[in-house]
Structure formats: structure tokens, C-alpha cells
Amino acid sequence: MCRILPKYGLVFFLLALFGFIFLLRNISHVETWNCQTFSTLYQLQNKIHSSFVSVSLPAFHHNSTFCVQLGQKASPEDELEERFLLDSIAWPSPPPAAATPRIRQTSDPVHSFFNILPSREGRGWHVGDQLEVLVQIRDFQGHPKHYGGDFLLARLHSPELGAGVAGAVLDHRNGFYSALFPLLWEGPAQVEVTLVHPSEAVAVLQRLREERPDRVFFKSLFRLGFLSETTVCNMCLPSDEQQPLCNYTDLYTGEPWFCYKPKILSCDTRINHFKGGYLKHLITNKEALLFQSGVNLKVPLRASGSDRIDVLPQRDKAEEEAGSLKPEQLHLSPSGYYYRELWRPLNGPTTRQFNQLSTTQCLKNKVINMYGDSTVRQWFEYLISAVPELKEFNLSSPKNVGPFMAVDTTHNILVRYRCHGPPIRFSTVLSSELRYISNELDGLSGGPNTVVVLSIWAHFSTFPVEVYIRRLRHIRRAVVRLMDRAPGTLVVIRSANLQLLDQEVSLYNSDWFSLQLDATLKAMFKGLNVLMVDAWQMTAAHHLPHALHPPPAIVGNMIDVLLSYICP
């Protein structure tokens, strides 16, 4: 077409103009046009299209309520719960005087350090005791910080024993932090404290989360016959008369989703959904200094003194009464720990190690439905590679997107995976495959042979937490309905995990966002008859580097926990 353009340029231009005016006159007619009309217009399409492609991204209402107010109005109980949840994850902000800090007055891991506090009455550490570590944060000038809000991770581990457990971090809000660890194994143990973000960086993330839900944006392709257009989509989009919206709000849940209306085509012609991209230049050069790999982004602190202890066997009964902490004195109940590289949950069934044979035995006659993001797709992939009889059925789905399905007809096993509804940053999902988990659950008959596995967190980090709460509320209702109509259905939730961070990743996917979502998720499903695979602690306690998609050693442990839940 380009080559013939010079010659017929004028003709094409007039045709295009005519077509354009005609189309704008009555857009709704487009749907009823036949293919022949389109083949005539086909040649005009590129010309018309090109006048729309340079649509710039819209400016957002930079306030925290815009995205949140969309969708169905929450009931008073829901609002109460929401307030409770938001209060429980409230993060201290730097004092107003430090709102625009000079970098040299911000938290510096090199000047900060931790101390292992002496054991009680100097009698050494025993299995069952709690180890306490005091962390002092200082700035780049070496001055102690006087306010809290730094995001720290703590881990107690033993490379010799393949052991590790996540510690609880208490913020004393004065520059001091305590890291607390239960002592769960006998032998050597080593403390590791990491500054993930200085408090000043968390404040930047907090602002981005509330004000820039557009920092990952989405697009949809609209197509009818040979005519196609692409527009920007998101959970909330500013609109006006020049930029009308297509409203894809889910009729069952009220989950909002919008795209800008294509100029020509109707809203019904949406074909797919894909990640549009990541907005750049979100922070100032000065703010960028708060997110420097190797300087103040996920950097370990040094110990002042030794970072190791030797844990002695459990005290005898009488001594224990006197010396060790009562369970209520423990500030953290870790969900489990690694020992000899195997995850041992502390509440729930003991984890067994499953091989190919016992996995097949366990899954016999079961239907496993996995819904969520790529971190549970990893489980699907792990299972089909671990069990060769579990053959993936070719649904011709796009790579990494799904839906996927694997069957073992000999043992009557069916495993399915489907991604959750928008926001989802997958490459390209067909509109027809964009399903909300709660609606999918409503379509399950369930029963003792049905297992449901959910993982929903990674794609919500760019939105205010209220958006996540709303989504989980819908899923939770569907879970309750499922369990009520089909008792015995097993529901397993995979929580969020830590990931590899650099400056760019931090702005969209920081562990700080994930931590807040993870705490919300765990609180919202607490007390329900669902089982949790604590991916957060399983990645925090492990020696392998953090990764959005944890390495097979960790996924294998997660699968063992899952199978132990299915076959206790």
C-alpha cells in the first residue's frame, strides 16, 4: 500500500476522509456491516488508524479515592472491615520535617548495624527460646535515625543444616528495631538483617500507590472485519466528552474495568487485553537516590559483634518452666521453617516429601483447579514436569497465559490453570478468557475430590490496597458459597513472595507493596476453612536469592505442602 500511495495518494486521502466522516456519522451501524463493505474500506484503514495512534496517555486524577470509589458500594460491615485492615497495615511515615529529606539524612545500611542481645540470665540459647536482635538505623553521616518506617527483613539460618526461619521485625519508631526469632533447631544459627527500603523510600512508594495507579497501563485491541483499533484500558480512567469510555464492569461482582472507546468501532468489538507498558519518570532525580541497588536497596546490615549463636538442646521441663518464653510472649508465630532444606510448617499437617509415585497416588481421582497469576502457573508447570503421566492437553493457548489443562486418564487426574481477571499484566489475553476468580468458583460443583488453588497478588501492587480488598472480598464470598454447597472442597491459597528488586522494579513491584497485600490476604482469609501456603515466609527463610518466580527448590517445597494438605 505504501508503494502505491504516491500515485493514488490524493484518491486515497479523499476516500479516507469520506470513510472517516461516514464512520463518525453513525458508528453503531458498523456492527451490522457485512464483510464486503469492509473489504472496500480495508485500504482506508491504515490511513484512518494512523491518525489515532499518537493518543497520549491521560492525566490521572491524582487522588487516592478515584479508583476505589468505582464498583459497587460496600456494605457498612465491609467498610468496617476495610478500615480495620487498612489500620492494621498502616505504615509510619517520616515526620513532616523529613518529608523532603536530603539523601545524607536518610537510612544508610553501611552505618546501620545490629546486635544479638544476650540470652536470658546468660544461660545460653536453647531450642524453644526466642532470640532477640536489636537493630539501629543510622543515616549516611552516621547519625542515629530518630524515626521509624524502614522496611527490614530478618532471617535466622544455618547453611550447615539447610535451616532457615523468617524473623518478626518490630519498629520502635525511634530508629531502633527488634528482630525476633524462635529457636527451632539445635546447632549453629546465623542472623541476617536486610534493609529493603529506607523509610524515605517507602514514603515515595506509598505516594505512588495512592496517586499513580496508572503506572502500569493496559490496552485492548478492538477489531471488526479488517478494521482494528487499540485503546488504553485500566481499572479507572479519567474521561470526558472527547474521551468516552467503554464500561466492562463485571455484572456479577461489580469489579470495574474500562477502556477508552475506540473512535470507530463499538465497545462490543474488544478482542483482547494486554499490558500496555510501564510509565517512566515517576520519581524525581532526588527520589531516585533512595532506590540505589547496592547502596540502600535490599542491602544486608553488618553485625556489631557476632552474628552467630549456638543453640543448645531444649531445656528439661523444670528449667523450661523457669526460663523459656510462654507462647503468648512470642511476638511471631512463624508459619514454618526449613530444616535439611525441607519446609516444616508449624501448624497444619507435617509436610511429607512426594515423589512421582506418591504424587500420582495423592492426586488420584482429583480435579485441581488453579486460578491466579504466574506464581501459581509455576505450580502447574512443576506438577506436569514432576509427573510424566500428567499430560498437558493442547488447548492452543498462548504461551505463559493459558488457560492450561493436564490430564492423567489412567489415574483420573485433571489439573487446570486459568489466570485471574484484570488487572493482569500478561502479554495478551483474549477478552473471552478474561474471567474473575469469584465467577469461576461459582461455576464449580466442588466436592471432596475438588481442590481449588488461588494465587492473586502480584498484579495488584500498582493499585491502592482498597482495590485488592474489594477483589478478595468477592473471592472470599465465592469461596464461602462453594464450601457451603460442596463441603469437603479443599481451598488452598498461595500467598505473596519476595522478589528481586532494582530501582525500576521497586516502583511497580516492590516487596513493600507485596508485604502490604500479603498481610491483607492473610487477615481476610483468617478463620475460614482454607489452607495457606505461606510463600512469603518460604521465600524469606530460604537461602536462595529472592525471585518473582521462586526457584524449583522452593516451588518443590510449596508443592509438598500442597500435597500434604490434599493427602494429610
To which residue does cell 518460604 refer? 538
The dihedrals phi and psi of 202, each to the nearest 5 degrees, come to -60, -40
Q: CB nearer to ligand NAG: give 65 or 356.
A: 65
Our measurement of the distance from residue 508's CA atom to the centroid of its chain's CA atoms, rounded to an integer in Å, reads 11
| Minimum distance of ligand NAG from residue 398's CB (angstroms) | 11
Give the 3-state secondary structure of 279-323. Answer: CCCCCCHHHHCCCCECCCECEECEECCCCEEEEECCCCHHHHHHH
Size of site (CB under 6 A) for ligand NAG: 11
Give the range of 57-65, 203-211, 433-441, 475-483 binding ligand NAG by CB under 6 A: 57-65
Give CA torsion, residues 407, 412, 415, 416, to 10 deg: 80
Cell of 151: 522496611
Cα(536)–Cα(166) distance, integer angstroms = 9
Q: Which is nearer to ligand NAG, 29 or 104 (CB)?
A: 29
Nearer CB in complex with ligand NAG: 149/256: 256
- CA-CA-CA-CA dihedral for 489, 490, 491, 493, to nearest 10: -170
Amino acid making up residue 541: A
CB of 23 to ligand NAG, least distance (A): 12
Q: Is-contact 493 533, C-beta < 8 A?
A: yes
Please identify which residue in 54, 242, 285, 394 interacts with ligand NAG, judged by CB under 6 A. 394
Instruction: Rank residues 229 and 255 by Cβ distance to ligand NAG and give the closer one.
Output: 255
Give CA–CA dist 423/160, Å, rounded: 43
Cα angle 178-495-84, degrees, rounded to a multiple of 5? 65
Of the residues 61, 138, 543, 549, which one makes contact with ligand NAG according to CB under 6 A: 61
| Interacting residues with ligand NAG between 12 and 41 (CB under 6 A) | 26, 28-29
Q: What is the spatial distance between Cα 426 and Cα 429, in angstroms, rounded to a whole number? A: 7
Distance CA(403)–CA(52), nearest Å, equals 32
Residue number with CB closer to ligand NAG (66 or 379):
66
Contact 191, 152 (CB under 8 A): no
CA angle, corner 109, sides to 106 and 301, nearest 5?
155
Neighbouring CB atoms inside 10 A of 140's CB total 18
Report whether 348 contacts 537 (CB < 8 A). no
Q: Alpha-carbon distance 374 to 370, whole Å? A: 11
Nearer Cβ to ligand NAG, position 61 or 481? Answer: 61
For residue 297, the SS3 value is: strand
* Least CB distance to ligand NAG at residue 150 (A): 29
Residue 63 touches ligand NAG, criterion: CB under 6 A: yes
Enumerate residues 121-140 that contact ligand NAG by CB under 6 A. none
Among 40, 50, 88, 247, binds ligand NAG (CB under 6 A): 247
Q: Given the complex with ligand NAG, which of 65 and 304 has the nearer CB atom?
A: 65
Q: State the minimum distance, in angstroms, from the CB of residue 394 to ligand NAG.
A: 4
Q: How far is the CB of 76 from ligand NAG (least distance, A)?
A: 20
Pick 28 or 242: Cβ nearer ligand NAG:
28
Q: How far is the CB of 244 from ligand NAG (least distance, A)?
A: 10
Smallest gap from residue 15 Cβ to ligand NAG (A):
21
At 48, list the grid cell: 484512518
Closer CB to ligand NAG, 93 or 249, in the complex: 249
Of the pair 61, 522, the CB lying nearest ligand NAG is at: 61
Range in contact with ligand NAG (rule: CB under 6 A) among 62-70, 90-98, 379-387, 512-520 = 62-70
Give the residues across from 391 on adjacent strands.
407
Please state, in angstroms and rounded to a whole number, the distance separating the CA atoms of residues 297 and 201.
9
* Shortest Cβ 65–ligand NAG spacing (Å): 5
The binding site for ligand NAG (CB under 6 A) comprises 26, 28-29, 61, 63, 65-66, 247, 249, 394, 396
